[in-house]
């Protein structure tokens, strides 16, 4: 009943978005959404009446992961809230967690415009922001203001400026951002280490095992006080992903997020007429869905005993989230689904997941994690 009502509201959202909002510039719409979100965060009495049924509060979906209580399995992925406007609002939309950033040691004004676009028929967003952000000092200041009702993640990456052009400088730059976050009294619960942004101008790559090893050793040495998740690429071969995971499990990393944007313009989910017109950038949404599902399974199958797997990419329905969970994700994150299906999608997914768990005879979400995947193929590495 609640799920059907949310689905009807989502139908109205889609009508308005597809016939009106999607004619406006994507970046402008994003900025307006963030400002409206911040206004609602500060005036929560406006949205409080809906809270009792939208906030995640089903005990079957509540989990303690790495010592953090997640009241719901749907998180906001890094990139949408890059100015820390939304953490207080997110629970009112059904989110169980939210990541802010990616923030970098030094601010970056973003790549040249256009930085955002929509491929409506392909259900994809075109992203070319290149870590547009106000810098880690800004982030920790904003995170000081509040205590939040849900776990907040702080995503950190390498500053996207020409000076940070070698592996050594990139590691020093990332270390510096972590140190600033660590030394501040900022209020957040976990870190994301973003090594997979495909929109950076200076191509320092942490994918080769030696480079990743060096980066993660330096992170180990920081003895961070919060758990760290690594945000992974998805468009690598299975053996390359496994090679990266083999390095990751040797370090103080609790989990991996699978994963980031898709680059491949021949991705079968992209409609040719749209992709031909698309400018510079990489894709979120439907083009990430299939490969993200596959690499979640791969990671869980091989390293599920050692790493928490977080599913991210192309979640538009409760079934999409459930498939990722059954493949091995402990929780999921999203952005594109919100744009195409509306801000109540997380609440809709929570209700849908409860329905799907019941249908399959699971009493708790933890029983469904990895239900379609055999864990522990490679046990000792
Ligand atoms: C506008 C936009 C900006 C993004 N910026 C970041 C970012 O700064 N850091 C990051 O780790 N991922 C970033 N991403 C990738 C998302 O976190 C996510 O991995 C990807 O969009 C796939 O999920 P989705 O299909 O639900 O959108 C961005 C995505 C979008 C759409």
pLDDT single digits (tens) 53-80: 899 989 999 999 999 999 999 999 999 9
Output the pLDDT for position 381.
Answer: 47
Confidence of residue 379 (pLDDT cuts 50, 70, 90): very low
Query: Greater confidence, 181 or 49?
Result: 181
CA of 284 to the centre of ligand 1 (A): 6
Confidence of residue 114 (pLDDT cuts 50, 70, 90): confident
Output the pLDDT for position 165.
Answer: 83
- Within 6 A (CB) of ligand 1 lie 77-79, 101-102, 116, 125, 127, 129, 131, 155, 194, 197, 231, 260-261, 284-285, 288, 312-315, 334-337
Three-state DSSP string of 193-232: EECCCCCCCCCCCCCCHHHHHHHHHHHHHCCCCCCEEEEE
Residue 47 predicted with pLDDT over 50: yes
Confidence of residue 341 (pLDDT cuts 50, 70, 90): very high
Mutate to test the pocket of ligand 1, among 74, 79, 115 (most ligand atoms within 8 A of CB): 79
Confidence of residue 146 (pLDDT cuts 50, 70, 90): low
Output the pLDDT for position 145.
Answer: 73
Output the pLDDT for position 377.
Answer: 60
pLDDT digits (tens, 9 = 90+) for 286-309: 999 999 999 999 999 999 999 999
pLDDT digits (tens, 9 = 90+) for 163-178: 888 889 999 999 999 9
Atom of ligand 1 nearest to the CA of 133: 8
Atom of ligand 1 nearest to the CA of 82: 8
Mutate to test the pocket of ligand 1, among 284, 317, 343 (most ligand atoms within 8 A of CB): 284
Contacts of 119 (CB under 8 A, 6+ apart): 125, 126, 270, 271, 274, 275, 278, 283, 285
Mutate to test the pocket of ligand 1, among 83, 101, 335, 343 (most ligand atoms within 8 A of CB): 335
Mutate to test the pocket of ligand 1, among 261, 269, 288, 293 (most ligand atoms within 8 A of CB): 261
Among 94, 146, 35, which residue's Cα sits nearest to residue 344? Answer: 94
The residue whose C-alpha atom lies closest to atom 23 belonging to ligand 1 is 313
pLDDT digits (tens, 9 = 90+) for 348-361: 999 999 999 999 99
Output the pLDDT for position 376.
Answer: 64
Output the pLDDT for position 380.
Answer: 46
Residue 214 predicted with pLDDT over 60: yes
The residue whose C-alpha atom lies closest to atom 7 belonging to ligand 1 is 79
Confidence of residue 378 (pLDDT cuts 50, 70, 90): low
CA of 30 to the centre of ligand 1 (A): 13
Residue 99 predicted with pLDDT over 50: yes
| Average of per-residue pLDDT across 123-127 | 95
The residue whose C-alpha atom lies closest to atom 6 belonging to ligand 1 is 79
CA of 76 to the centre of ligand 1 (A): 9
Distance CA 88, CA 181 (A): 20
326's tokens: 């059954």
DSSP β-bridge partners for residue 63 = 70
Output the pLDDT for position 51.
Answer: 76
pTM of the full structure: 0.95
Pick the CATH number of 2-368 from 3.10.180.10, 3.90.1150.10, 3.40.30.10, 3.20.20.70: 3.20.20.70
- Other residues' Cβ atoms within 10 Å of the Cβ of residue 18: 12
């Amino acid at each position: 009943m609640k799920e059907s009502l949310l689905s009807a509201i989502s139908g109205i959202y889609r009508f308005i978005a597809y016939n009106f909002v999607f004619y406006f510039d994507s970046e402008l719409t994003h900025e307006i959404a963030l400002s409206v979100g911040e206004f609602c965060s500060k005036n929560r009495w406006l949205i409080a009446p809906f809270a009792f049924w939208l906030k995640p509060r089903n005990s079957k979906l509540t989990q303690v992961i790495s010592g953090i209580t997640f009241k719901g399995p749907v998180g906001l992925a890094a990139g949408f809230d890059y100015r820390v406007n939304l953490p207080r609002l997110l629970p009112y939309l059904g989110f169980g967690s939210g990541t802010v950033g990616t923030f970098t040691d030094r601010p970056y004004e973003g790549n040249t415009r256009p930085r955002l676009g929509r491929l409506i028929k392909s259900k994809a967003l075109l992203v070319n922001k290149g870590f547009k952000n106000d810098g880690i000092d800004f982030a920790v200041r904003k995170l000081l203001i509040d205590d939040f009702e849900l776990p907040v993640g702080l995503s950190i990456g390498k500053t996207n400026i020409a000076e940070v052009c070698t592996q050594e400088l990139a590691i020093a730059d990332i270390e510096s951002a972590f140190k600033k976050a660590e030394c501040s009294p900022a209020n957040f619960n976990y870190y994301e280490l973003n090594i997979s942004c495909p929109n950076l101008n200076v191509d320092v790559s942490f994918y080769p095992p030696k480079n990743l090893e060096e980066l993660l050793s330096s992170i180990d040495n920081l003895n961070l006080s919060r758990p760290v998740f690594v945000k992974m690429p998805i468009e690598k071969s299975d053996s390359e992903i496994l090679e990266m995971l083999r390095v990751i499990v040797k370090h103080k990393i609790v989990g991996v997020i699978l994963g980031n944007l898709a680059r491949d313009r021949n991705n079968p989910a992209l409609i040719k007429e749209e992709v031909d017109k698309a400018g510079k950038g990489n894709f979120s949404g439907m083009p990430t869905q299939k490969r993200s599902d596959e690499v979640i399974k791969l990671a869980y199958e091989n390293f599920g005993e050692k790493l928490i797997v977080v599913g991210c990419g192309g979640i538009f329905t409760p079934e999409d989230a459930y498939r990722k969970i059954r493949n091995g994700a402990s929780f999921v994150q999203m952005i594109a689904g919100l744009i195409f299906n509306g801000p109540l999608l997380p609440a809709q997914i929570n209700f849908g997941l409860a329905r799907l768990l019941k249908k399959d005879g699971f009493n708790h979400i933890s029983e469904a994690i990895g239900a379609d995947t055999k864990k522990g193929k490679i046990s000792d590495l």
